[in-house]
Amino acid sequence: MIKTAYLTIDDCPTKDFRKKIDFLYSCSIPAILFCIGSNMESFTRDIIYAIEKGFIIGNHSYNHPFFSNLTLESCYEEILKTDELIEQIYFQSGITRPAKLFRFPYGDKGGLDGLNTHSKHQTGSEQGEYRKKEIQDFLGKLEYRQPVFRSITYNYFQNYCLNKDLDLYWTYDVCEWSIFEEHHICDIDSLEKVYKKMAENYPEDGMGLNYFNSEDIILLHDHEASSDIFNDIILTLIKKQNIVFKMPDFV
């Protein structure tokens, strides 16, 4: 059976960014590229190159902080500075920006007291809920919206309102980044364990690549440490997991 998914790549761009773009383009794989503002100015030509190839540039903040650790004013600045950079780069490319998409670093929506970076839903104090709403409202004023994902059916995605927030979350984290961390998430310390995780089938626990009643939003990263395994991961998703990547609808 075929699994339909949307590819999102966080922490762009690095020095290997263009190589990854070339590989994805050669495989006719579309992707949303969430860029860190502080990295963008050094790789402006590479970002324009990606835009020209049909990839979508998303906002991943300016300094990649935990939003729960910032004042609201600093949260707004993190979003706005990168938004302005993306606008400038689209203008330089001569291509109209097709959508305004945002993803919080670490999935931290800014509303938690005591952050669990891997929780799907963040609940906290009344103040925390207020902070989260204020940041969502700020995204709305800048006209950030989620794309239209018509066939994501996971209960948690609906129950935790991940389909209603203005930022774009994910349903499957490849966790390739964990290999290179001092403390490995879910004991993932090798590429073999990345692939073992792909074979699991726990749809409501973020492991639904083998569940065919829902599409997936897949999260990968543009990290220099994992550049050597990037292509192999993509090919495994296509050839062994039977995934067909497509771009969502933008409204």
> Is the Cβ–Cβ distance between 143 and 197 less than 8 Å?
no
Whole-angstrom distance, CA of residue 131 vs CA of residue 128: 5
Whole-angstrom distance, CA of residue 178 vs CA of residue 193: 10
DSSP secondary structure, 26-86, as one string: HTT---EEEE-HHHHGGGHHHHHHHHHTT-EEEE--SS---GGGS-HHHHHHHHHHHHHHH
Whole-angstrom distance, CA of residue 243 vs CA of residue 246: 10
Q: What is the mean pLDDT of residues 17-28?
A: 98
Backbone torsions φ then ψ of 244, nearest 5 degrees: -110, 120
Selection from 121, 120, 138 nearest residue 71 by Cα: 138
Q: Is residue 116 scored above 80 in pLDDT?
A: no
pTM of the model: 0.95
Backbone torsions φ then ψ of 202, nearest 5 degrees: -130, 75
Q: What is the mean pLDDT of residues 79-102?
A: 98
Report residue 231 as tokens.
Answer: 């292509």
- Dihedral sign (CA 95, 36, 185, 205): negative
Categorize the per-residue pLDDT at 114 as very low, low, confident or very high, splitting at 50, 70 and 90: very low
Lowest mean pLDDT segment, chosen from 29-38, 114-123, 151-160, 199-208? 114-123
Residue 6 CA: distances (Å) to CA of 3, 221, 229: 10, 14, 19
State the architecture of 3-245 in CATH terms.
Alpha-Beta Barrel (3.20)
